[in-house]
Structure 1
């Protein structure tokens, strides 16, 4: 009987935390209340209350949120709401202010990595940055090699060369976890705008690139990406100074070694 009482006590604690977290998340901007209560939520509550693998539970939650279509920004605020609730007394009403800047970096990183695992456009995790989910420079070089072999086999003068879109943000006035988070937000926008099999990659801590086909809609997509990135960065008080991204479109040079040199110049090396 005592064991049953203990189980009931655990279940009650999880239900209480889940209810308070849900209220805090919805009041902080969660858009679809009916989609919030996934099974991974209970796993996170149990880990947070009883010293379980919270990082692992948050990674699974991040994957679940991405699977149901939640954006990264919304997912991070959801975890910030959890932290705000945990930071209050157990009898608090859940009407707390979710502040991602107050939440521990480890919590935010875990859920962001999980989210990026599912949304990253490169299936090999070894070919992606662990936090932003962007492809590594090494993977981009592999893709460029494929492009040059394909185009030169068809006809170098046929006008089939893709373009390289480079997005750089000024992080000189940004510190702490906000620096990597800026690139997470940039990566999220680029994957949403360039969602037709393009390669999105990292060229350092403040520059991302997209290898995109030169087609009629690419100019519109570049303009849309610039606007959305600025809006996302401007919406974070810690990233306002980075909210004027430099966006440049580079024509690929005639040879692969010259393309590698271009990557070095874009990265500022």
Structure 2
């Protein structure tokens, strides 16, 4: 008989329903996007379960959990995916006020701490500075025939130029993180486009096609279609600087 046990150091929330909900939530999260199982539980998880029946308590607990996830070093994409699993586990509609409070808690905490990585917290992908540095390293290390700069651009299905919302950006980041998990690649999001710097392999093209398919299927990105383009890295320094310049358009 298999059992889904909680770490003995954890304090389980009171009540049989809360214990069952905690197990369902944790199980869904681990199957979706949570990367370090032993770091999932925090005291703020129990606070959220205790305050689930009161909207004000739920929002405040969500804010505290968002802040706690940030302190753990969990990116907003992974953290928000986990929080959405809570509503699925509880068999209830997503509470947009609680979602907003969760993100506000995460962002407020992020503003208080020193950046500890080269990761853009809104997408889980690389920052522009880190991507540019990696592009230079790729140019120095690899023959241009071995590496590609690929782009996946979102194009609105109707006339609109509004930037993507934070939920759409997070969904886009999750799609690319999953598709490129097993590839040697660096990814960055900028202006409706995801830039992919990678070694030229069949896995790269497979991942690009998978991203296009997932964008098409995504509920959050249903207002967009996507196009893919690839180009070899330039061998001359002048061409390299032109590539960097294009990232800022």
Output the TM-score relative to the length of structure 1.
Answer: 0.60
Question: Do the aligned residues in 2 keep the contact of 1:18 with 1:45 (CA within 8 Å)?
Answer: no
Segments of 5+ residues of structure 1 without an aligned counterpart are 1-10, 83-93, 115-123
Residue 18 to residue 61, structure 1, CA distance change in 2 (3 Å) = farther
Shift of 1:143: 0.5
Partner of residue 65, structure 2: 57
Q: Which moved more, 1:140-149 or 1:124-133?
A: 124-133
Residue 136 to residue 43, structure 1, CA distance change in 2 (3 Å) = same
- Residue 150 (structure 1) aligned to one of 141, 149, 154: 141
More helix by share: 1
Output the TM-score relative to the length of structure 2.
Answer: 0.63
Larger gyration radius, structure 1 or structure 2? 1
What CA RMSD, in Å, does the superposition of the two structures yield over aligned residues?
Answer: 4.6
SS in 1 for 2:229: strand
Residue 111 to residue 16, structure 1, CA distance change in 2 (3 Å) = farther
Question: Do the aligned residues in 1 keep the contact of 2:120 with 2:126 (CA within 8 Å)?
Answer: yes
Shift of 1:141: 1.0
- Residue 84 (structure 2) aligned to one of 74, 77, 82: 77
Separation (CA, whole Å) in 2 of partners of 1:246 and 1:76: 31
How many residues matched? 216
More strand by share: 2
Segments of 5+ residues of structure 2 without an aligned counterpart are 1-10, 32-36, 110-114
- Residue 179 (structure 1) aligned to one of 162, 165, 175: 165
Shift of 1:140: 0.9
SS in 2 for 1:127: coil
- Residue 130 (structure 2) aligned to one of 139, 152, 157: 139
Partner of residue 21, structure 2: 22
Partner of residue 233, structure 2: 252
Partner of residue 4, structure 1: none
Residue 223 to residue 63, structure 1, CA distance change in 2 (3 Å) = farther
SS in 2 for 1:168: strand
- Residue 201 (structure 1) aligned to one of 188, 207, 229: 188
Question: Do the aligned residues in 2 keep the contact of 1:201 with 1:210 (CA within 8 Å)?
Answer: yes
Partner of residue 97, structure 1: 93
